[in-house]
Structure 1
Amino acid sequence: MNINDIDLNLLIAFDVLLREKNVTKAAGHLGITQPAMSNSLKRLRSLLNDPVLVRTSEGMVATERANFLAPKIRKILLDTKEALQQVDADFIPEQSQRVYRLMASDYAASTLLPKLLEHLNAVAPNITIDIMTPSDVTFHDVEDGKIDMAINLFNELPLSFHQKVLWKDSFSCLTRASNPILENFNLQSYMQSKHVWVSKTGFGVGLGMNPKDIQKLGWVDEALAQIGKQRDIKVFTRNYHVAMQLAHDDQLIATLPSKAAHIHRLDTGYAILPPPFAIPDIELKMIWSPLLHHEPSHIWFRQQVVKAAEHC
């Protein structure tokens, strides 16, 4: 195969087709017609001497060779974008009016961002922060540099992302100060209580929870399973503020990251207690695209996020 015979636009088409596994959606992503996308797929099949995508009862499925090539072609495209992108070498924080777009869970938003905004107001008062939720953003939005940074608790991450741990957090139990359990708070009384489950990791819209699917319930329930216990979950939520509000019911306990629970440390209506069993610490990470890694304004912003995290 002669490199001069390859239309590099086909690599872009390949990348989108492998991501969407749907010709119509891929066409929409690139802003071209469905017939034009179908023609690109036909040309890819001829170039690679491989079907690339095959139709099954469950939709279009990538071939073994296409799956092998996908990360390699993705890296070529990312490296090309990074090499050609313009760098703002004259970035001056005090004068900048840049808008930084962040994806942050409400756990990250309520614990980290107030301190970050306080710091930015002092050093770069004209900068604006656009905060998005995990449901607003995909991995590809971050990878393509459309989102400056994602801050969340992540189970898995693509190898292409840059990342940094902002902090490790333990867990605390939050409940109403008048909850009778406070008279004798131990593992037995904890298990006899009803609970609020809260978690939102990664990206995308959440799916309905099954109380019996321990492996998908996360840190608290996995820790309980290790000692042969399963708590009685009354409410499932993906919002930490909702969980904290529900914990004001003296029949419920919310077991959540300590930095979130301690938002209510001065509220006499709440009680904060250490869990009566061991739960491994969690890590709050920030991740960003390799396309932004060397940009001066992004380097500066990452440094400000780290400074803010050190004071939370």
Structure 2
Amino acid sequence: MAEPDLNLLVALDVLLAEGSVMGAARRLGLSASAMSRTLTRLREATGDPLLVRAGRNMVLTPHAEALRERTRDVVNEARGVLRPSASEPDFATLQRTFTIRANEGFVEAFGAPLITAITAIAPLVQIRFAPKAEKTALHLREGLADLEIGVLSEMGPEVRVQALFRDRFLAVVRKGHPLERERNVSPERYVAFGHVVASRRGQGTGPVDDALAASGLKRRVVAVVPGFPAALAVACASDLIALVPASFVRNRLEHGESQPPEAIYTFELPVETAQITVSQMWHPRLEADPVHRWLRQLVLGVCRQREALWRD
């Protein structure tokens, strides 16, 4: 029996990731006709159409969907086998760009000390913080991101996870807000005012709403904004209450960015909500990479150091 052409695996991986002949051709540096011929060979090899026309676009068949992650893992494993054995990196001359997916709050609170720690050891390394429009392991699986930082969600069983620090949410209002005069804000007073919520996905509810509902209360969400900086800015210019992580607030108070420390007033939520654990996540193909391991250790060290500073 003829041996299969293993070069087709790379083309299959890209086709399944792109879901498009043209997109796969661009990534592989091939012409559209050459990519179409490759798709024909893949169809013959797998006995499945793989990509089929749906209107003006193409979609994966069920068999192609089932093959996507397996193909990605096989290709990554093959690349690892053919990669030179790891040696101790020369950080003084290391030139590499790391892509870290994180929300604005993390970048504001930890971005500067992390960049300082990295460039002090590896001055030629570049850090690219990418926005998290959604929670998905796709960017890690496809090598589009080196790290994902945030609250753990359904990322798939293969994704590696390490806890960085624990955080909690605080309520924030402008200085001079009626609630500033109250020593202990009651749940009833908390829901008496409108609220501004930060959500990348446009969701207006969360754990605090569940806790309020247990007491028969409901807050009125007046506005939903994409990030914590925007929520804080709205709260500082209105009577709305913002809900933001303590780490983000402490960083703002420490540096006086955008809103000076004297412009905001914070208080504990009047209902019990669970603390959140912020973690870093990566794909297992980078587990043994000495440079990536060095990056993970620096991220962990910076986060733990900042957490200890705020706790003191």
Which TM class, normalised by the smaller chain length?
A: 0.7 to 0.9
Paired with 1:121 and 1:47, the residues of 2 have a C-alpha distance of: 48
Q: Which residue in the other structure is 2:265 paired with?
A: 271
Would the aligned equivalents of 2:196 and 2:235 in 1 still touch at CA under 8 Å?
Answer: yes
Shift in Å, 1:190: 1.5
Unmatched segments (≥5 aa) in structure 2: 255-260, 307-312
- Pick the aligned partner of 1:180 from 166, 178, 188: 178
Shift in Å, 1:80: 0.9
Q: Secondary structure at the match of 1:61?
A: strand
1:233 maps onto 2:231 in alignment: no
Q: Which residue in the other structure is 2:257 paired with?
A: none
Q: Which residue in the other structure is 1:284 paired with?
A: 278
Q: Which residue in the other structure is 2:25 paired with?
A: 27
Would the aligned equivalents of 1:143 and 1:290 in 2 still touch at CA under 8 Å?
Answer: no
Shift in Å, 1:178: 1.0
2:99 alignment partner AA: R
Paired with 1:123 and 1:44, the residues of 2 have a C-alpha distance of: 46
Paired with 1:275 and 1:236, the residues of 2 have a C-alpha distance of: 19
Q: Secondary structure at the match of 1:70?
A: helix
Identical aligned residues as a percent: 28
- Which segment drifts farther, 4-13 or 125-134? 125-134
After superposition, residues 192-231 of structure 1 pair within 5 angstroms as 192-200=192-200, 209=202, 211=204, 217-225=205-213, 229-231=217-219
- Which segment drifts farther, 183-192 or 153-162? 153-162
Shift in Å, 1:101: 3.3
Structure 1 pair 254–87 and aligned structure 2 pair: CA distance change class (3 A):
farther
1:244 maps onto 2:238 in alignment: no
Unmatched segments (≥5 aa) in structure 1: 201-205, 212-216
Q: Which residue in the other structure is 2:245 paired with?
A: 257
Q: Which residue in the other structure is 2:47 paired with?
A: 49
Shift in Å, 1:52: 2.0
Q: Secondary structure at the match of 1:42?
A: helix
Paired with 1:27 and 1:109, the residues of 2 have a C-alpha distance of: 35
Paired with 1:194 and 1:292, the residues of 2 have a C-alpha distance of: 45
Write the deviation string for residues 182-238 of structure 1: whole angstroms up to 9, x where unpaired.
3342211221211111134xxxxx5xx365xxxxx4444455455554422222222
Q: Which residue in the other structure is 2:4 paired with?
A: 6
Structure 1 pair 254–91 and aligned structure 2 pair: CA distance change class (3 A):
same
- Pick the aligned partner of 2:149 from 143, 151, 165: 151
Write the deviation string for residues 116-174 of structure 1: whole angstroms up to 9, x where unpaired.
24444655556543333235998544334453322233433133332212122111111
- Pick the aligned partner of 2:303 from 266, 291, 309: 309
Q: Which residue in the other structure is 2:163 paired with?
A: 165
Q: Which residue in the other structure is 1:15 paired with?
A: 13
2:222 alignment partner AA: K
- Pick the aligned partner of 1:65 from 63, 67, 86: 63
Shift in Å, 1:16: 2.5
Q: Secondary structure at the match of 1:278?
A: coil
Paired with 2:92 and 2:30, the residues of 1 have a C-alpha distance of: 41
Q: How many residues align?
A: 298
Q: Secondary structure at the match of 1:268?
A: helix
Structure 1 pair 91–53 and aligned structure 2 pair: CA distance change class (3 A):
same
Q: Secondary structure at the match of 1:147?
A: coil
Paired with 2:96 and 2:129, the residues of 1 have a C-alpha distance of: 14
Paired with 2:51 and 2:66, the residues of 1 have a C-alpha distance of: 13
Paired with 1:229 and 1:11, the residues of 2 have a C-alpha distance of: 56
Structure 1 pair 112–43 and aligned structure 2 pair: CA distance change class (3 A):
same
Q: Secondary structure at the match of 2:224?
A: strand
1:191 maps onto 2:179 in alignment: no
Paired with 1:24 and 1:126, the residues of 2 have a C-alpha distance of: 35
Q: RMSD between aligned alpha carbons?
A: 3.0
Would the aligned equivalents of 2:72 and 2:141 in 1 still touch at CA under 8 Å?
Answer: no
- Which segment drifts farther, 299-308 or 235-244? 235-244
Q: Secondary structure at the match of 1:247?
A: helix
Paired with 1:182 and 1:194, the residues of 2 have a C-alpha distance of: 15
Would the aligned equivalents of 1:81 and 1:291 in 2 still touch at CA under 8 Å?
Answer: no
Q: Secondary structure at the match of 2:153?
A: coil
Q: Which residue in the other structure is 2:309 paired with?
A: none
2:186 alignment partner AA: N
Q: Secondary structure at the match of 2:293?
A: helix
Q: Secondary structure at the match of 1:112?
A: helix
Shift in Å, 1:95: 6.0
